[in-house]
Structure 1
Amino acid sequence: MEEASLEIQIKTLPSSPGVYQYYDKSGKLLYVGKAKNLKKRVGSYFTKSHDSHRIRVLVKKIKKIKHIVVETETDALLLENNLIKKHQPRFNVMLKDDKTYPWICIKNERFPRIFLTRNLIKDGSEYYGPYTSVKTVNALLDLIRGLYPLRTCNYDLAKEKIDNGKYKVCLEYHLENCKGPCEDLQSEEEYMENLTAIRQIVKGNFKDSLHRFRQQMMEYADNMQFEDAQRIKDKIVILEKYQAKSTVVNPNISNVDVFSIISDEAFGYVNFLQLSYGSIVRSHTIEMKKKLQESDKELLELAIVEIRQRFNSKSKEIYTPFKVDVGEELKITVPKLGDKKKIVDLSLRNAKYYRQERFKQIKIIDPDRHVNRLMGQMKKDLRLPEEPRHIECFDNSNIQGTNPVAACVVFRDGKPSKKEYRKFNIKTVEGPNDFASMEEVVYRRYKRLLEEEQPLPQLVIVDGGKGQLSSGLKALDQLNIRGQVTIIGIAKRLEEIYYPGDSIPLYLDKKSETLKVIQHLRNEAHRFGITFHRQKRSKSAIDTELNTIPGIGEKTVVELLKNFRSVKRISKATKEELSEIIGDSRATKVYNFYLSKKEK
């Protein structure tokens, strides 16, 4: 049977919630999505004009649409997540994570052991986790073993085997780490009571254990068993210290999942905090590769479903920085102030730190990916038509009207290209006139590039506000290249960026990478310009009457000026003072030169 046209496939879609799948002409799955209304959502792909190049490519490739109708939005979310994980379609957000996380296992056996594992075996054992760090699991197990003596051996402690005296106590018993259930020295009832308390500690509830230990301590003290009372007191101190360390939020905030997101052009970073009895029992951040310019809301919704599945979360309430649609069974809270808001801010801070760490790693491991991401971010932040792979920045150094010079620095892929830096002596401008100087150097720079048929930069930055920007713009107009390059001006406060024809400046986030690159550009232009200006001033200072003295070269002049600081002091110096610096022969020539001037 011939495949129906896309138009007919869309028209026949139901208006109910479900999951849709796009396939190409060869039957390969391209994309999986969820929808409250399948017909509306799928139709929007083919009726809207899309800004994203990737969405336009996706839409062109779609030849077949399949769908699965489900009861609720929650079912749609879960099904979408499972299908993405199973098929990993080319155009879906990537949420790969092949790591196996550690769990705490309470083994299904008589006198259960408690230990760390990465393998979940369906034998009726209890598993708590998964935990994102082995360190956390080991710290928790150390705490538990310090509080409650538990067996570590793997003997089968069946009642008949113990009654028949099959086992003997080991060293752990003599070290008081185990109470010897293998020789029936500890009752199963007492062992299971300890295990009930351990389950609460693993969940983050220390209250029951503390209450039980305090009761025991008082009983020992009343019976004059002070050594035993002290031993229990030590356990209380250990537990209170651990509780204080782990309790970082309001103890009333219990059994809550917290999610936050920070994103850039290419990736989203979602942090997850799990709270239990006022303690953060889990923190995990994932990186999500965007495929179709997904919004933060779309990324966060996908991440919430995936993370809650992965970590087997049963919390009925979640905190997020903005409203999300993840089903009616969950209570969604968007805190505005107080302790709840602080915990969302903490989650956001974790996401930011993770992103910074990934940037540092990427710079070392995959520099191309870092550059591509940075260029995409700059294009977005500065509203540019293309990525600024080649940027040039101009700076005037016109101190007190003397020796007017300018500098042009060149950055490629966000880094200085020092061999391409250029210096300019201002030729056509008399006196200190920054605007006219800027116009001259911009004109000269790009006239030269055009004559040499060199590529023009994607972005030109002039150091200064609206005045300097207008001057640079005039130069581009004279060369008829105004539309070929983007030119912007940076005001002195640096956060203000001016565009031609717009009196209101753009303000960049002070912590943004785009602003850091621009700051680097302007600092380099300023440094390069000032260095050139100083060289010119030094040269003009050296160009004095000392150069007219027969037999005195430039090195001698520099040496004299370095020591005497001025020509006037040199002229007043004695022959002996001059000799100490430049020797008798040259000192005589300099001394006689000024002596003859005095006699005149």
Structure 2
Amino acid sequence: MSEPESTAFDIKAFLAQLPHLPGVYRHIDATDEVLYVGKARDLKKRVSSYFQKTPSSPRIGHMVARVVRIEVTVTRSEAEALILENNLIKTLRPRYNILFRDDKSYPYLMLSGHVAPRIAYYRGSTQKKGQFFGPYPSAWAVRETIQILQKVFRLRTCEDTVYANRSRPCLLHQIGRCSAPCVDEISPQDYAADAQRAARFLNGETQEIMGDIERRMQAAAEALEFEQAAMLRDQMGALAKVLHQQTMEDSDQSDTDVIAVASSGGKVCVNLAMVRGGRHLGDRAFFPTHADGDSGSEVIEVFIAQHYVDHPLPAVIVGSHVLPDAELIDLLAESKSTKCRFISRPQGVRRAWLEQATRNAEMALGSALLESGARSARTLALAEALELDTDPAALEALHIECFDISHTAGEATQASCVVYTHHAMQPSMYRRYNIAGITPGDDYAAMRQVLTRRFGKVADGEAIMPGLVLIDGGKGQVEIARQVFAELGLNTDVLVGVAKGDRRKVGLETLIFPDDRAPLVLGESSAALMLIAQIRDEAHRFAITGMRAKRAKARNVSRLEDIDGVGAKRRQRLLARFGGFSGVANASIEDLASVEGISPELAERIYFSLR
């Protein structure tokens, strides 16, 4: 159903004729591009909701403003609409839909249908002969499981053609990773039993298998079959080690997927962790497009809808956010003819799974933000937020310096200067400044000194002027910077202070300017602020490490000075001989006494004074 092209689009008339039935709708612009595809339990209510006075989000508002035509397709059920919606999204890739790219099939572990079953990595249809376990989130997870099965159950991994033509055991048998059924080192019945135990292990029956191995070991010992008993003992030990390493074991052993959403800097990551047979198999990170400004609940709902149309639905899904549409899981289960439940507030081990998945999502997101594309996008966001030149060449050359002061109660004061340019931090351009001649703990005086030293060279034409100068601090530090720049005749417009927010939480900072511009709060979802916070944190880290090294050096030298009999010359000889204070502290009495001017008595005094 669509509005005829020969007449202007009358939204009221179109909405009036829509049925109260399930289906799929498509928003289309003047160039016939499909902007958005959605499903609805009730087409009339859902499509009408887009044309209310207040759009649900800025992104939807922009999209609705471009709509000139709407097409709908009625389906027999909402479950059928869900499948059609996802097929259209993957085919059309509309610019206003959240899109997850997941073209690869997931790998499985296969236990072949051979008379002597083989364990192997497998990707493809699971309709062929054999047993399939998974899916696994990555090839690495499959291969790790194969190594476990080799250690514990000694199953073969060789191709059937190799197996059929062997005349002697291979290297895997010699290192205890295969029982060599190919040359009858184990009977077919015993090998088949081991293969069956491996299948039970993959299905989560670990404790039952452990008890079975223990009973067999005791029976072998009572029958005086000590070699067999020793082999079973080693097998039980290997299995116990695996179970000990698998700290996240589920008591009910339901197949579970754990989905965590993290967002930062205008980018979103969805981390999917898989638990099969009670074993945590690992995870995979997804980075959707067109997800800017969407809540975690909206992102997780779209992920579930798109992902499980093409992949198996587990018995349990644990999510980091509540689903806006609670019936989505029921629709998916209906389409798969299975059962599934969604948990957003898990307890026990599932809570630990969700916490780990969330940490992994945050780590993956952090790594992605450091990639070149994300870096350039954040530089652009920063330039737009501060009204700098957004030309690509200007962004590439944008030179940012950030200054921070660090000390311990006024001791060993140091200032740091870190540099960001070409969309990346430039460690080779970092500088530290030792601050002297000020009242200990006077951060304003320290900031004045470092800025005067650094930008005095700019005023003299000996150094370049950055495009942006960040000052770690609030109004006081920014005012000091403004005064220094004014005294040197430099442009103060490049100065921006970064004042810490409540509880020093990243994302709550306020940007302070030296002129009459109002303070700017960008918010924790701002890519520009995330870049500023990264640069500021790097300046802080660089300042602290330098201050601690300077403080330790000063304190260590003073410790030598405090030892009676160790003057300037002897101290210099000791430090030169042992390469610094740590070498002196670790030297023996005999080593210390070997230094010119250090008697055995003085060596003993030094030795015990430093311990």
TM range (shorter): 0.5 to 0.7
Kindly tell me: are residues 486 and 288 of structure 1, through their superposed partners in 2, closer, same or farther at Cα, counting changes over 3 Å?
A: farther
- Answer whether contact 1:113 1:151 (CA < 8 A) is retained: yes
- Residue 515 of structure 1 is matched in structure 2 by 533
- Residue 490 of structure 1 is matched in structure 2 by 499
Kindly tell me: are residues 33 and 104 of structure 1, through their superposed partners in 2, closer, same or farther at Cα, counting changes over 3 Å?
A: same
- List aligned pairs for 1:341-380, cutoff 5 A: 341-360=351-370, 362=371, 367-373=372-378, 375-376=380-381
Q: Distance in 2 between matches of 1:523 and 1:238?
A: 44
- Residue 233 of structure 2 is matched in structure 1 by 233
Residue of 45, 51, 75 corresponding to 1:40:
45
- Residue 63 of structure 1 is matched in structure 2 by 68
Matched, 1:171 2:168: yes
- Residue 89 of structure 2 is matched in structure 1 by 84
Encode CA deviations 1:137-160: one digit per residue, 9 max, x unaligned: 223223334415558453699xxx
Q: Distance in 2 between matches of 1:522 and 1:214?
A: 57
- List aligned pairs for 1:304-323, cutoff 5 A: 304-309=304-309, 311-315=311-315, 317-323=316-322
- Residue 260 of structure 1 is matched in structure 2 by 260
**Partner SS, residue 171 of structure 1:** coil
Paired residue type of 1:323: V
Q: Offset at 1:123? A: 3.1
Q: Distance in 2 between matches of 1:465 and 1:173?
A: 70
Kindly tell me: are residues 490 and 19 of structure 1, through their superposed partners in 2, closer, same or farther at Cα, counting changes over 3 Å?
A: same
- Answer whether contact 1:260 1:272 (CA < 8 A) is retained: yes
TM-score (norm 2): 0.60
- Answer whether contact 2:134 2:276 (CA < 8 A) is retained: no
Paired residue type of 2:223: N
- Answer whether contact 1:22 1:66 (CA < 8 A) is retained: yes
- Residue 270 of structure 1 is matched in structure 2 by 270
Encode CA deviations 1:212-246: one digit per residue, 9 max, x unaligned: 21221111111111111101111111111122222
Matched, 1:133 2:133: no
**Partner SS, residue 101 of structure 2:** coil
Residue of 182, 185, 188 corresponding to 1:186:
188
Q: Distance in 2 between matches of 1:182 and 1:290?
A: 59
Q: Offset at 1:83? A: 2.5
Q: Offset at 1:284? A: 1.5
Q: Offset at 1:198? A: 2.2
Paired residue type of 1:203: N
Q: Offset at 1:498? A: 6.6
Paired residue type of 1:346: Q
**Partner SS, residue 320 of structure 2:** coil
> What is the Cα-based RMSD across aligned positions, in Å?
5.4
Paired residue type of 1:198: A
Q: Distance in 2 between matches of 1:231 and 1:183?
A: 14
Q: Distance in 2 between matches of 1:105 and 1:152?
A: 13
Kindly tell me: are residues 177 and 464 of structure 1, through their superposed partners in 2, closer, same or farther at Cα, counting changes over 3 Å?
A: closer
- Residue 220 of structure 2 is matched in structure 1 by 220
Matched, 1:154 2:125: no
Kindly tell me: are residues 18 and 386 of structure 1, through their superposed partners in 2, closer, same or farther at Cα, counting changes over 3 Å?
A: farther
Paired residue type of 2:510: I
Q: Offset at 1:472? A: 10
Q: Offset at 1:357? A: 2.2
Q: Distance in 2 between matches of 1:156 and 1:320?
A: 45
Q: Distance in 2 between matches of 1:272 and 1:90?
A: 24
Q: Distance in 2 between matches of 1:489 and 1:181?
A: 72
Q: Distance in 2 between matches of 1:243 and 1:211?
A: 13
Paired residue type of 2:499: I
Residue of 317, 341, 359 corresponding to 1:331:
341
Q: Distance in 2 between matches of 1:412 and 1:184?
A: 65
Q: Distance in 1 between matches of 2:31 and 2:474?
A: 56
**Partner SS, residue 329 of structure 2:** coil
Q: Distance in 1 between matches of 2:359 and 2:387?
A: 32
- Residue 584 of structure 2 is matched in structure 1 by none
- Answer whether contact 1:375 1:414 (CA < 8 A) is retained: no
Q: Distance in 2 between matches of 1:460 and 1:333?
A: 47
- Residue 602 of structure 2 is matched in structure 1 by none
Unaligned 5+ runs, structure 1: 158-166, 398-407, 420-431, 446-455, 475-483, 526-600
**Partner SS, residue 88 of structure 2:** helix
| Structure number with larger C-alpha Rg | 1
Q: Distance in 2 between matches of 1:282 and 1:271?
A: 10
Paired residue type of 2:362: K
Q: Offset at 1:280? A: 0.4
Q: Offset at 1:17? A: 4.2
- Residue 479 of structure 1 is matched in structure 2 by none
Paired residue type of 1:490: A
Encode CA deviations 1:410-459: one digit per residue, 9 max, x unaligned: 9878779999xxxxxxxxxxxx9x99x99xx9xxx9xxxxxxxxxx98x9
Q: Offset at 1:172? A: 3.9
Kindly tell me: are residues 45 and 255 of structure 1, through their superposed partners in 2, closer, same or farther at Cα, counting changes over 3 Å?
A: same
Matched, 1:286 2:296: no
Q: Offset at 1:87? A: 2.9
- Answer whether contact 2:285 2:364 (CA < 8 A) is retained: yes
**Partner SS, residue 181 of structure 2:** coil
- Residue 587 of structure 1 is matched in structure 2 by none
**Partner SS, residue 160 of structure 2:** coil
TM-score (norm 1): 0.61
Kindly tell me: are residues 271 and 75 of structure 1, through their superposed partners in 2, closer, same or farther at Cα, counting changes over 3 Å?
A: farther
- List aligned pairs for 1:530-549, cutoff 5 A: none
- Answer whether contact 1:216 1:232 (CA < 8 A) is retained: yes
**Partner SS, residue 130 of structure 1:** coil
Q: Distance in 2 between matches of 1:117 and 1:91?
A: 36
- Answer whether contact 2:262 2:268 (CA < 8 A) is retained: yes
Kindly tell me: are residues 10 and 193 of structure 1, through their superposed partners in 2, closer, same or farther at Cα, counting changes over 3 Å?
A: farther
- Give the paired residue count: 466
Kindly tell me: are residues 504 and 306 of structure 1, through their superposed partners in 2, closer, same or farther at Cα, counting changes over 3 Å?
A: closer
